[in-house]
Amino acid sequence: MPDTIEIRDLLLRAIVGINPDERVNRQDVLLNLLLETDLRPAARSDGISDAVNYRTIAKEVIEFVEQSRFNLVEALAEAVAALCLRDERVSRVRINVQKPGALRFASSVGVTIERTRADLAAMRRP
């Protein structure tokens, strides 16, 4: 089983949706991130320079999501995955994006995607 860093239940506000009110009013989105990386260098050195800095990644995700404007949670999840993969030590990400209250009678609706460094290269191609 690979080493992972988990960021759970990151509750943010974003413009996401296709309905007119969703294009104007920010709404809650809940993100869960699973970053696959080799934790051994950081564990051996006990130094932040050998670690994927999850605080930095979380700050970047927060800023990005809160300034973003997407129609679909799928597109938001893809963009967050690309952001996380910018750190070359992250080899794979699993991103779950939930929109609480998006469906009547459901507490939440969302998507989960998994992307690798190879997927990142393919995302950049025209």
Place of tokens 């969703």: 22
Sequence-separated (6 or more) residues with CB below 8 Å from residue 35? 4, 5, 6, 7, 52, 54, 57, 84, 90, 92, 93
Distances (CA, A) of 30 to 11, 24, 111: 5, 19, 11
Give the position of tokens 């320079």.
49
User: Does 99 participate in catalysis according to the annotation?
Assistant: yes
Q: Which of 99, 102, 110, 115 is catalytic?
A: 99
Residues recognised as catalytic: 99
